[in-house]
């Protein structure tokens, strides 16, 4: 079976790597903070002391990092690409800019290395359940080769050439941010009027307004549980990337712009970047002069 190197075993990467182990793949893992990779060692993965050690001899290299700069530094600055044999396939599951993904694909292709950009949606719950939405950009032959690996982590769909996966993820994040904003406002409206938010969500089940975000994040807002599944700081980074891409395309996205400003306030003015992105509810409470728990 194909040997896999998994680079980046943080909040999302750890359960994704664990599902690859469950599927029977031989796995070597590396993480900048090595302690975060230790549980995977107990589950059967080999822990590499350096990323270059992880990728040597691997047929497929999966990266799950914070942003495009981190991916570029790992591949080209720290020499991981140089340590890979020709014919290796890199699957970048980080959320980065489409133009960065295209650049990485081109640079790797020059060294005989394949590349797929395959960002995910579904948060830590989806990662743990191996039910992530996986949006893939790249060559169809590379996708066919990677599909068994990706299916161990979720539901992959090849949406187009290099960069198309990242563009789809940006569109996904636009929908997520705008829906979180709508759920926050609906939850506050219902709660201030004296209705039960839980029963409100129950009443909407199966209707046009129902969604995973309403059910999961509406409950978070009701209970005040903002332990991170998808960090607000990452949501802000994605919104900045969406607007960067929109400017390049010459289009205006007014809802995304409004939500970007609210997440910026939540992360930078209120200092809640490490909370779940459902904590946008706290920004709404503060905007209304209401204390948390209102």
Q: 245, 52, 16, 213: which is closest to 126 by C-alpha?
A: 16
Distance of CA 28 to the CA centre of its chain: 21
Burial 156-170 (b: 16+ CB within 10 A, else e): bebbeebbbbbbbbb
In the set 3, 36, 169, 237, the catalytic residue is: 169
Q: Which sign, positive or negative, has the C-alpha torsion 63, 101, 241, 72?
A: positive
Q: 127, 124, 80, 135: which is closest to 104 by C-alpha?
A: 80
CB 115, CB 90: distance < 8 Å: yes
Residue 158: CA count within 13 A, CB half-sphere: 16
**CB within 8 A of 284, min separation 6: which ones?**
184, 185, 188, 262
What CA–CA distance (Å, rounded) separates 13 from 255? 30
CB 142, CB 115: distance < 8 Å: yes
Q: Is 169 a catalytic residue?
A: yes
**CB within 8 A of 167, min separation 6: which ones?**
98, 137, 160, 245
Alpha carbon of 265 to those of 55, 177, 233, 236, 275: distances in Å?
Answer: 39, 14, 11, 10, 13
Residues annotated catalytic, as ranges: 169
């Amino acid at each position: 079976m194909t040997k896999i190197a998994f680079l980046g075993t943080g909040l999302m990467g750890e359960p994704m790597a664990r599902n690859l182990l469950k599927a029977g793949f031989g796995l070597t893992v590396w993480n900048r903070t090595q302690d975060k990779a230790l549980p995977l060692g107990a589950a059967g993965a080999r822990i590499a002391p350096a990323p270059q050690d992880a990728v040597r001899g691997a047929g497929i290299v999966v990266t799950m990092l914070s942003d495009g700069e981190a991916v570029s530094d790992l591949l080209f600055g720290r020499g991981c690409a140089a340590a890979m044999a020709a014919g290796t396939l890199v699957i970048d599951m980080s959320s980065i800019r489409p133009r960065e993904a295209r650049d990485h694909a081109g640079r790797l292709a020059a060294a005989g290395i394949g590349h797929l950009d395959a960002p995910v949606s579904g948060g830590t719950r989806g990662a743990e359940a191996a039910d992530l939405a996986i949006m893939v950009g790249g060559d169809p032959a590379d996708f066919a080769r990677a599909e068994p690996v990706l299916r161990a982590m979720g539901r992959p769909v090849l949406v187009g050439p290099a960069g198309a996966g990242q563009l789809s993820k940006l569109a996904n994040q636009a929908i997520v941010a705008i829906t979180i904003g709508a759920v926050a406002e609906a939850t506050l409206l219902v709660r201030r009027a004296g209705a039960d938010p839980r029963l409100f969500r129950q009443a909407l089940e199966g209707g046009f307004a129902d969604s995973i975000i309403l059910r999961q994040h509406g409950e978070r807002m009701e209970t005040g549980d903002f332990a991170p599944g998808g960090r607000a700081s990452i949501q802000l980074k994605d919104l900045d990337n969406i607007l960067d891409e929109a400017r390049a395309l010459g289009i205006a996205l007014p809802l995304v712009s409004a939500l970007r400003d609210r997440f910026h306030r939540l992360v930078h003015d209120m200092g809640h970047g490490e909370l779940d992105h459902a904590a946008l509810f706290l920004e709404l409470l503060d905007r209304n002069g209401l204390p948390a728990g209102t």
